A and B are shown apart, each in its own frame.
Chain A
């Protein structure tokens, strides 16, 4: 069981370039999430998905798009990268239980936009 994996681990982009971050989970979880973590700002939700083919906006969705074509994958796209998008990006997945939503996190992608 690999859990939640993220590709790539590190990336440097120039302003205006585009890229896609891939998140994959092998736990058959329905829910998947993309967060960004910035110093002093904590963890903020960008987009999330409650099932294959569905996506929803989180707290800070501007400048990002997502797709969930397969249950196990959740893609985060940056169409035109900006320096403000320099951050560490975390993907997470969870299932719904009587006890709430225990989220499993990936190791993160460190993105720098110059």
Chain B
């Protein structure tokens, strides 16, 4: 079965610093989702990547999917306290469009703390 491994498990950065979170899959990624979870709350969708080499940005957050589609990275530029939370990657379990029926598997998350 497919597994997603996230690294690091936790991260503490000084405000204003850049950081990267990685998500590595044991199998090819056919759809890779990034979510953010604030402590004690539900998950908020950030971005979704499908194609090898794809890169998407929203405000100061950039997500990339490597060419081989087995690893994704989430990069935050000039981190702020509002970026603190748990970042989770999720992946589609089927290569066929509609095959997974949205049945995603998730990594265990990366806990990010930003020191002011």
Q: Give the docked Cα–Cα distance between A40 and B107 (Å).
A: 10
Q: Give the docked Cα–Cα distance between A43 and B88 (Å).
A: 9
Q: Give the docked Cα–Cα distance between A42 and B42 (Å).
A: 13
Q: Give the docked Cα–Cα distance between A95 and B90 (Å).
A: 16
Known: A42-B88, A42-B109, A96-B98. A101 touches B104 (CB 8 A): yes
Query: Do residues B103 and A58 form an inter-chain contact, with CB atoms below 8 A?
Result: yes
- The reply to whether the CB of B108 lies closer than 8 angstroms to some CB of chain A is yes
Query: Do residues A33 and B50 form an inter-chain contact, with CB atoms below 8 A?
Result: no
Count B interface residues, CB 8 Å: 25
Q: Mark B25-61, 1 if CB is under 8 A from A, else 0.
A: 0000001010100001111110010100000000000
Known: A96-B102, A100-B31, A100-B92. A105 touches B107 (CB 8 A): no
**A58's closest neighbor in chain B, by CB?**
B103
